Amino acid sequence: MNNSKLDATYKRLRWQIIITTFLTYTVMYISRKAFAAAAPLLMKDLGMTMVQFGLASSIYYILYGLSKFSSGLLADRINPRLFLAPVLVVIAIINVGIGMTNSVSMLLVLYCLTAVVQGCGFPPIAKAISQWYSKSERGGWYSLWNTSHNVGGALAPLIASAVIAYTGNWRYAFYVPAGITAVQAVIAAILMRGKPENYGLPNVGEWRNDTKQLEINKRSETGLSMWVMFQRYILTNPIIWLAIGGDLCIYVIRTVSSDWVSVYFVDVLHWDLVRSNSLVAWFEAGGILGGLTSGIISDKFFGADRWKTILIYCFVLIAGMVGVGFTIHMSYLLVALCFFVIGAGIYAPQMLFALGIIEASHADGAGAATGLKGGVTYVGAALAGAPIAMIEKAYSWNGVFVLLAAIAVTLVILTCVIIRVDSKRLPM
């Protein structure tokens, strides 16, 4: 294959990969977040209590994290296409089942089942991105892909609210995403690809002559078993564990911000459902800005140093949280703008923690590294379920807000420790 044909093939497949993975994760989010968006009406119709809702969220995130961990170990050995298309089909089927149920118990079972399936989505995507985009450019590409979280997160409450308003039935908030997910399953089956070497292409580091990527390739031993690679490059890596701790903090704040917004603003401040859910859309829109800018900033201004960039956005997050406290009783627009800032301060570190963990690992360990991260950090998401409900019951929402402030401070401290440890770390 001559150089011009090689470049054209590589570029075409890279765009194919980024578009397919972007659409896949957007659709997965639309299906996943339908539950939170429809929660106020769903709880009223089926008689689900607030504690049951919180417990369901906690169980969901624990199962999601466990699934992410186990699927991450497999993702480094299996073609992403064999993961993503079947996963999307099963998600669509489960969403239809949730929409049809009249039992709280059955709804909870199906909701937990979808957690297991949803957890299989990210590791193969992380693997594909690590294989098709090299170290010095990956921040920008990963930022572009990462906005799928925000597009899906923003569309989910808007689609659910619009469908419920049009039909008067919360069940269609699950049927419509199921149809969208089924269509995406077909697209993923057709367009998803494995690593470049499977198609007669060189490693992406060689193709781009990226010295940073070639260093990662060089330090990554070949011929290792999955367990030896996992133990040597991931399980005993202090940078990865510190980053997981920081990401856990992010997940607690993020999950409270997205899952409890409609409940708090409808029940406590007596906003209507559409207005309350619109704050989630503002939150996700801010996340798009944060995710896009953070990757580019880390690539262009910090030499692909993810950790220093994270610290900048930690202070953006704190500024948004403080802003909500001051504006919550003043005006909708000011509160919405603060949620926009929080979204930027959440999704930038979340994206960069994932990227930093991938790059601190083995060149072929993206699935396992992100799987471990997901298995642990979704404990943080689980802590934003039933424990938040219990804290609110015991100490009111003020107690919840104090807890979130303490977690934000912990996030800053952990990030500073990562920067210090990474600066002293010898090359692997």
Q: What is the pLDDT of residues 1-13, one digit of tens each?
A: 677 888 888 889 9
- Which residues of the chain are modeled with pLDDT < 70? 1, 76, 217, 220-225, 270, 363-364, 380-382, 384-386, 425-428
Q: For 167, phi and psi rounded to 5 degrees? A: -95, -25
In-domain check, residue 203:
no
In-domain check, residue 342:
yes
Cα torsion 269, 275, 277, 278 to 10°: value is -130
Residues whose CB is less than 8 angstroms from the CB of residue 225 and which lie 6 or more positions away in sequence, other chains included? none
Buried b (16+ CB within 10 A) or exposed e, 383-394: bbbbbbbebbee
In-domain check, residue 204:
no
In-domain check, residue 200:
no
In-domain check, residue 202:
no
In-domain check, residue 205:
no
- So what's the pLDDT on residue 304? 76
- So what's the pLDDT on residue 428? 43
Rounded to whole angstroms, the Cα distance separating 140 from 298 reads 8
Q: How many domains in the chain?
A: 1
Residue 120: give its domain's CATH number.
Answer: 1.20.1250.20
CB 388, CB 50: distance < 8 Å: no
Single pTM value for the model: 0.74
Rounded to whole angstroms, the Cα distance separating 388 from 425 reads 37
- So what's the pLDDT on residue 426? 47
- So what's the pLDDT on residue 122? 83
In-domain check, residue 249:
yes
- So what's the pLDDT on residue 408? 93
The residue behind tokens 């269509």 is: 183
Domain that holds residue 80: 3-194+210-424
